[in-house]
Structure 1
């Protein structure tokens, strides 16, 4: 009897363990089946294609060599693409990409609408960084817009060029960043990202989220 009772006890204990494991699996599977699946985020591809530097006018050899090895700092966040010629320490936006002239970067982005903003800088005579920013920096908001379509590629081309009619202060040469969007449907006309115009917002008057303000 004792042996039979012990065997019966072992059998019952093993049976209970088996039931508990099966219950655990059943609960786990049931929970997975009942849990709503996370919505899949549709994505497309953005290619930022920075063209090699060119000049429509003859430049000093040293200047030409320096400009050909130049690069652009830019970033993407919350449907906004920002290119900045102002040092990132003054910008409250993640400029975490640096693409050299003649190179490109490819990103996978959520499908949706995107806007491109340029932060430009003109050379001015000043004796402090603050004055240089106040006189020379400006923001061109939403210069171009595009849409990332699921599974498709959009190309944002930036063509840095010194225009024939451009004038510069001594030792200060700033290419015009001519930008266009290319998709399967076609391409947009080129638009300058960093040219000051009637819609440009001077740095002192700009109160938007791209300006870093120490607190």
Structure 2
């Protein structure tokens, strides 16, 4: 009988060598390029997505500025020059405070329309003339755009005193009466009348008015 204990089992694949493990084929020449290309293809979407993400992050910061930024009295003097730069007819005013601060103030059609100010004066070309507004209207505009860093605002525009070329501006007179220019900057000194002086003037005016309204004074006739 055949001794089965000494018989070696036959391999399932006769051609395979049992002593040598199978190894992957080496990469030669163009075999390595697909791997590198595939790696580049995978990185491309993430690289291209970065600018769009940054753009989305910057979008809220590029929102439009408020309309009132160019419609109020500026905090500081931006430049030494004056005059309107966009071709519109405007009155450029440099407000000089008692503290020495300088505040540019530009009055044009856009500004007056925003403030609901009706201007009837016209230039020689038929355009709206901002220098035709009265001094009192100018005081009203200054009071409406009163800056927070200034002193306590007065209760009424008439308490504001404006001086141009050494002349005290009267409320009822238009700006062009005092030769306000539409092409160069107009320097205006601004002060505020103290409230106690205003109260004294009003009290004196009431006493004066009451004296004139008493009618004819009595007289004595001797017969």
- TM-score scaled by structure 2? 0.30
Bigger helix share: 2
Bigger strand share: 1
Larger RCO (CA under 8 A, 6+ residues apart): 1
- TM-score scaled by structure 1? 0.30
